[in-house]
Amino acid sequence: MHATKRETEILNTVRLKGSVTTMELAEMLGVTDQTIRRNVIPLVERGLVKKVHGAIVAPDRLLEAPFHRRMLENQDAKQNLATVVAATIADGDSIMLDAGSTTSYVAQALVDKKNLTVITNSAQIASTLAPNPTNKVYFAGSELRSDDSAAFDAQALKTFNQFDVQYAILSATALHAQRGIMVQKAHEAELSRMLISRASHVIVAADSTKFDRKSLISVCEFSDIQTLVSNEAPIGELAEALETNNVFVSTPNT
């Protein structure tokens, strides 16, 4: 294993876990801690990671935002279910991607697809998928909120409304047997409904911590969606509600 490959490994690990010790990296990559320190120098120079005594950490600006904290919560679960969602999408498909920590993982899992048409209201997702020259990426919205650099204004609705796509990939704050898909803010709900109305196949991506909870606003019934992708299969009442409404449930194991 050469230095360059180790650099990308280090970067990935730091981005995934937020921080990692020199020793952990040394063991993981089968070299001495000294070599790790040397490999980290160019990464620090490029501002991609930061060094503190005892560990390599992601730069502050990424960690401070609440959104980035959500990116770090349940990261394994989100990573896994993102892979499952990505497996559903084929080269050349057209998709709408809602803003959210889970959907950001989905976007990351889609970088190697080709010829995608992507419409999203998240600046982060847009700049993840736009650099691929085979893709066609549209940003929906104008006024960005600071939390996650995403737009939920009239312009966002208007842009989504112009398109008809194969898949809409939604995030959610809660899933509840009686109340269906739920989110925290009224304008998030409104936007989600727009995505649902413009896609022939609606995929909800939500990790199992969202199960059997309520949030503030109900976005839609389960009958309005086609697929739920999660890290675990739901059980009990929620599972029944999904089955009754013919929602296909997809998990890493199936």
Distance between CA atoms of residues 140 and 150, nearest Å:
9
Site for a copy of itself, residues 128 to 157, rule: CB under 8 A: 130-133, 135-147, 149, 151, 155
- Shortest CA distance to 41 belongs to which of 53, 32, 51, 33? 51
CA angle 4, 108, 130 (to 5 degrees): 95
Among 35, 79, 155, 218, binds DNA (CB under 7 A): 35
65 lies in the binding site for a copy of itself (CB under 8 A): yes
Q: Which stretch binds DNA (CB under 7 A): 34-42, 73-81, 104-112, 174-182?
A: 34-42
Piece in contact with a copy of itself (CB under 8 A), picked from 83-91, 119-127, 197-205, 232-240: 119-127
DSSP 47: T
Q: Which of the stretches 120-128, 176-184, 202-210, 225-233 binds a copy of itself when contact is defined by CB under 8 A?
A: 120-128
**C-alpha closest to that of 9 among 61, 53, 62, 48:** 48
From the list DNA, a copy of itself, none, which binds 193 (C-beta under 5 to 8 Å, kind-based)? none
Query: Hey, what are 228's tokens?
Result: 């739920």
Shortest CA distance to 171 belongs to which of 136, 219, 241?
Answer: 219
Separation in Å, CA 98 to CA 46, 203, 217, 252: 31, 11, 16, 21
- 208 scored as a contact of a copy of itself (CB under 8 A): no
57 scored as a contact of a copy of itself (CB under 8 A): yes
The 40-69 site mask, x for binding DNA (CB under 7 A), equals -----------xxxxx--------------
Q: Which does 137 bind (CB under 5 to 8 A by kind): a copy of itself, DNA, none?
A: a copy of itself
CB-CB contact of 183 with 189 (8 Å): yes
Residues engaged in binding DNA (CB under 7 A): 1-3, 6, 21-23, 30-35, 37-39, 51-55
